[in-house]
Structure 1
């Protein structure tokens, strides 16, 4: 393995959960034993009880180059094994084993005992090791991840046949986000908080779930800024499994979060024992902002902010769905801002939480999304079909990401196929279930039931469409109907509607552009044998690409009925060559010109 990844310097060493941090933790990234189990017979063959034959660098998936394996064939199941020494100073604690994400169906053993199962490749889960983890002693961890292409699952853009093609990309199997150990108090401990801003009253609602209730305990939350403590509030912790504290910010200390001023307050959380001693503590942060709907407008802090979003799929040449470094996550946001975007649709996967942390810090507007592209009921050779696990995993994503101020909307589904005349309605059930789950878990943000194609929930907060027309004049005609409450709506075969009628919601074109700009192929005398692809005819020069970009974005910037748009896409991804930047993040066109194209005066006042 590369020298930088020695045990004292594991890959991705940063704390993976930046909105709920504790000082004591042990990063388990680094070298693990590894073995491929192509027939998923490892349990019968005793892989839980013996050494494995290979090595892998966690948290990178075995398909990636950074893992040290780079096996891109189908992997029915994979196994991991590692022995760790539980720190002796954790003697009085209960030890938790956290996984950021494992694709797809995971079983975990510790000390020979099964301690966790989890289904879903995008969301975190935790194993409480109970009495299995003995401080000061070694503990053997074994992980099996099954990822059959025949198992119904949400997989996003992962290919279900061998090779990459069109917008299907190399698969991810097994561990692909950070693994770590964490000690918590045995009797009662803090769980992940939910922080909800209330701009109207200048306050934060801080909900503090607990592992149990113990007589005499209290919770305390302290909000602070650069000038020191803003407010401290205490409450009882023995009457409710989720004590709620309201932190009122004095008017002279109120400062809203926005792209123009992404101000964050620090938040200290404490669990106090009967004598006032600190039993458990964690750090977090919060942004004071609101998202609201007024007619067709989507407002931030009560003001119009045109959302110039870019589609970001979060793939990397060497790490696939895992960023090679934390700096790479930050860099993607900086690249979007440099090109004139003020936010992103995080497309077809649940991004690493540290991406959201950087978006919070930089004031980058984000729509959180699930990975389920093209979900439908009628295609039997496609395993991305709706089932209850979609809702379960989406709820886990909502719980993880609720408190991030950069998230201004939720998008549980994308480009679903369901005609009004279909007799199979399970997709309708799952669509409505995911919409209702989102509104129950977070009523403070707008929800689009499905981005593009099949809008199935009449009360969806946002209506949208996807349109890849490449001629700006024709594109303008397609989008012109919004002025008369007849917006462009995606339709299915024979022009049949996929959607319930539009009823005046805020509307945006949430995918457009996708210009097939592949300068290397153009330089090779227009070689049409290239396996690259994008939308429309390839521009012949950079100037032609910039002109088309300017024309398409200009159609939507000048539309007073739009609250924003989302341009496809930030970077090329493998053979898909329609990014603003190349796959390696190098500049593909003059970024300054793209930024200038988007910062032209729109039909209303810009605040950013």
Structure 2
């Protein structure tokens, strides 16, 4: 793969926010479905911690709250203005917003990028919706609450419950008071952008855009709020030279009209890491001769296919040099401090020689995928399933909540259109020996896999990253291998040539169904423990410094180990890729290519050179 177009130097932070904006993260949060009439609600909200979950009884719904917070940053973060890292099991938010006068007669939608974990929302004293899940986006219509109040003021009250002992998907958030090992400071409440949007009475609810490279076309499914007589959907795809394809389809028959838009061969420009070309897409809902609703979007024409042990992009094997990206920042935890910070992480990764990332134990802000789309950065989407329980050797009371699959389907639906997203991984490091009876792990793993396949036929699905593979027809097979000696690591992985790849076990017991020849990669390795500022870590508490294996003594030791480990995988013609742990240090976990604050930690050019040697897989 040719990565010569990527700048080697570490880029400086750039500003991508709207000029003159005085609110945090002012960018339009949903690039795949844009309208002009929207109102960003980030900024100052009233805030109060409700330690006993008695706030509803104490009247918090009807009065001003005692403090203030900067949304969308969680109260545990510095940028929120609070920085309280204690257990915050229930928090309340309140803000009054003047709805623009020219929105009169239209529906008003209230969008939340993400709120952790169980959310109830009231507008003008009326409950408008509930949502469970800390990683997925959700929307409530508040038109009725505005009408009943007979005014244009929306007083929004949000209660977020995040009980520490609950069985819930929490990703890498620590259950202990302190951070430890690979568990980090918790996130509570609102942590992604909140915004209002005006839509017509009949409107376009969502778009599902599927690239079909084999036929030089896009399949566009337009979900509508209603199907009126004499209505139609008009879709226009264009590039820098003008219209590429255009089609109009009746909208009075099917709730979600499906349209195939074909283009001539001379206008075909596939999306790839080397050439991340994006087409502009405009979709209009038309009634008679009038345009009722209009949204803008974009799409990339690319394919992902399986051929034996290969995963091909646009029909060609592309070795996936992935890095584990956990998406944490010192000052803002799971929320990026700015849109520029999202861009910078991609640029830092590319500068180090990676061509993509496994987005680990967290659902990233949608704008991350937008930047990955335009920069040609490959990503695997993952759910933050740690914490749902039911995965250990003794299940006891640990039962995953039924909302896990619901939340994951919300994620798959939201991110479906992004061409940079080339695979799904619903769960991570599930571990449980194969038992005589079917277990909760079997049910959950298969349920998550089947739900993903039902929602998306266009991408491969890995049933679980590392450890317990319990779906025999999983599209991809993998392992996690943190062996630090390159020779031993190569020996571990040598069996793939005989269809006997390295697999994880649990205390020597088998935890996976057999490998059956799928594309295979090591989806976690390395994790080389090194901090150049520490001269001695002997006896260091694990919540202060932690990494995998023996700590290297200097940068030369790091570089030699990194080059040796990556060479073992680059030289394997049956290995379609790898994922190195990890892009940055995260709190006490000191195994990143960069420091936690994204500053330089080592000679990145050597890391890049080690990775950009030719891969046997692509020859």
Q: TM-score normalised by the shorter chain: which range applies? A: over 0.9
Deviation string 1:365-388 (CA, Å, 9 cap, x unpaired) is 000000013754248999985232
For residues 8 and 605 of structure 1, do their structure 2 counterparts lie closer, same or farther at Cα, with a shift above 3 Å needed? closer
**Match of residue 55 from structure 1:** 68
Aligned to 1:356: 369
Which residue is equivalent to 2:433?
419
2:111 is aligned with 1:98: yes
Instruction: Report the equivalent of 2:470.
Output: 456
Q: Could you say if the C-alpha distance between residues 82 and 279 of structure 1 is closer, same or farther in structure 2, counting changes exceeding 3 Å?
A: same
Contact 2:463 2:474 in 1 (8 A): yes
Identify which of 160, 175, 179 aligns with 1:145. Answer: 160
Alignment partner of 1:556 is 2:569 = yes
Are 1:175 and 2:190 counterparts?
yes
CA offsets per residue over residues 39-69 of structure 1, 9 Å max, x none? 1111111111111000000000000100000
SS at match of 2:618: coil
- The residue that corresponds to 1:446 in the other structure is 460
**In 2 relative to 1, CA 196–6 (structure 1 residues): closer, same or farther, beyond 3 Å?**
closer
2:12 matched to which residue of 1?
none
- Deviation sequence 1:359-407 (CA, Å, 0-9, x none): 0000100000000137542489999852321100000000000000000
Report the CA distance shift for 1:99/1:302 in structure 2 as closer, same or farther (over 3 A): same
Aligned pairs for 1:278-427 within 5 A = 278-373=291-386, 376-377=389-390, 378=392, 385-421=399-435, 423=437, 425-427=439-441
Q: How does 1:36-55 map to 2 (within 5 A)?
A: 36-55=49-68
With the length of structure 1 as denominator, give the TM-score of the two structures.
0.96
Q: Which residue number corresponds to residue 11 of structure 2?
A: none
Q: Distance in 1 between matches of 2:463 and 2:279?
A: 32
Corresponding residue pairs, total? 598
Q: Hey, what's the Cα distance between the residues in 2 that align with 1:360 and 1:554?
A: 28
Match in the other structure for 1:154: 169
Q: Match of 2:445, SS?
A: helix
Higher alpha-carbon deviation: 38-47 or 432-441: 38-47
User: 2:199: which partner in 1?
Assistant: 184
Contact 1:374 1:415 in 2 (8 A): no
Please name the residue that 1:508 is paired with. 521
Q: Could you tell me which residue of structure 1 aligns to residue 9 of structure 2?
A: none
1:267 aligns with: 281
In structure 2, how many angstroms separate the alpha carbons of the residues matched to 1:455 and 1:374? 19
Distance in 2 (CA, whole Å) between partners of 1:440 and 1:15 is: 30
Aligned to 1:16: 29
* Displacement after TM superposition at 1:538 (Å): 1.3
Q: 1:252 aligns with which of 255, 266, 288?
A: 266
Q: Once the 2 structures are TM-superposed, how far is the Cα of residue 240 of structure 1 from its aligned partner?
A: 0.7
Corresponding residue of 2:243? 229
Deviations 1:394-449 (A, max 9, x none): 00000000000000000000000221126561121111111000000001100000
Q: Select 1:220's aligned residue among 234, 238, 248.
A: 234
State the partner residue of 1:478.
492
List per-residue Cα deviations over 1:512-546 (Å, max 9, x = no partner). Answer: 00000111113xx5564362110111111111111
RMSD: 1.8
Check whether the contact 1:7–1:30 (CA below 8 A) recurs between aligned residues: no
User: Structure 1 unaligned runs (5+)?
Assistant: none
Alpha carbons 1:64, 1:70 under 8 Å: kept: yes
Counterpart position of 1:576: 589
* Whole-angstrom CA distance in 1 between matches of 2:37 and 2:220: 23
Query: Structure 1 residue aligned with 2:129, among 116, 123, 141?
Result: 116
Correspondence for 1:206: 220
Does the Cα contact within 8 Å between 2:570 and 2:617 map onto a contact in 1? no
Question: Which residue of 128, 140, 147 maps to 1:127?
Answer: 140
> Which of 47, 61, 74 pairs up with 2:87?
74
Moved more, 377-386 or 261-270: 377-386
Aligned to 2:505: 491
Is the Cα contact below 8 Å between 1:582 and 1:588 reproduced in 2?
A: yes
**Structure-2 separation of matches of 1:497 and 1:202:** 45
1:133 positional shift: 2.3
Q: Which residue is equivalent to 2:39?
A: 26
Tell me by how many angstroms 1:132 deviates. 1.8
CA distance in 1, matches of 2:248, 2:92: 46
Asked whether the 8 Å contact 2:79–2:331 carries over to 1, the reply is: yes
Counterpart among 249, 252, 259 of residue 238 in structure 1:
252
> In structure 2, what is the Cα distance between the partners aligned to 1:332 and 1:587?
13
The alignment's TM-score, normalised by the length of structure 2, stands at 0.94
SS in 2 for 1:334: helix
SS in 2 for 1:168: coil
Contact 2:167 2:388 (8 Å CA) reproduced:
no
The answer to whether the 8 A contact 1:153-1:385 is kept is: no
Runs (4 or more) in structure 1 with deviation over 6 Å come to: 4-7, 379-384
CA distance in structure 2 between the partners assigned to 1:427 and 1:47 by the alignment: 40
Query: Alpha carbons of 1:382 and 1:168: their partners in 2 closer, same or farther (altered >3 Å)?
Result: farther
Change (3 A) 1:323 1:63: same
Q: Name which of structure 1's ranges 373-382 and 307-316 shifts more when overlaid on structure 2.
A: 373-382
8 Å CA contact 1:217, 1:236 repeated in 2 = yes
Cα separation, 2, equivalents of 1:227 and 1:317: 44
Name the residue aligned to 2:540.
Answer: 529
Per the alignment, residue 97 of structure 2 pairs with 84
Change in CA separation of 1:152 and 1:529 when aligned onto 2, cut-off 3 Å: closer
**Secondary structure of 1:420's partner?**
coil
C-alpha change, 1:476 and 1:548, in structure 2 (3 Å) is same
Structure 2 portions without partners, runs of 5+: 1-16
Tell whether the 8 Å contact from 2:405 to 2:451 is kept in structure 1 after alignment. Answer: yes
SS at match of 1:543: helix
Contact in 2 for aligned 1:413/1:431 (Cα 8 Å): yes
Q: Are the counterparts in 2 of residues 218 and 235 from structure 1 also a CA contact under 8 Å?
A: yes
Q: Distance in 2 between matches of 1:333 and 1:143?
A: 33
Deviations 1:105-153 (A, max 9, x none): 0000001000010000000111111222259621210000000012221
